Amino acid sequence: MARINLILLALLTACALGLVTSQHKARKLFAELEHEQNLAKQIDVEWGQLQLEQSTWAMHARVEKLARERLHMSVPDAKRTQVVLPAAAAETSR
């Protein structure tokens, strides 16, 4: 009878240690998940800021102003402008 009790006690101790270990791993993984989610939120905010910055730098008026000032370019007159259609669009318009 004592032998069975010792075996059951050892089995109970092993199960208890397994439970504690699995709970510890679960808490550790949950903390890591929260950290990664916070990092993803920060990256999303930064992505939005970069898109806003890109759209600001690529505004038509800004590009035109830089072309005039730095490259001494100007918009051609309407008389000197010719529209060239792509080959597929030219075939469908015939």
Residue 90 has pLDDT above 70, yes or no: no
In a domain, 63, yes or no: yes
- Domain presence at residue 80: no
Residue 37 lies in a domain: yes
What is the Cα–Cα distance from 42 to 21, expressed in whole angstroms?
32
75-86 confidence digits (pLDDT tens) = 888 898 888 888
Tokens of 55: 């759209």
Dig out the tokens for 75 from the structure: 């918009």
Whether pTM > 0.75 for this model: the answer is no
On whether residue 32 sits in a domain, the answer given is yes
40 domain-assigned: yes
In this predicted structure, the answer to whether residue 72 has a pLDDT above a threshold of 80 is: yes
Q: What is the pLDDT of residues 41-57, one digit of tens each?
A: 999 999 999 999 999 98
Q: How many domains does the chain have?
A: 1
Domain range for 67? 2-74
> What percentage of the chain carries pLDDT values higher than 90?
66
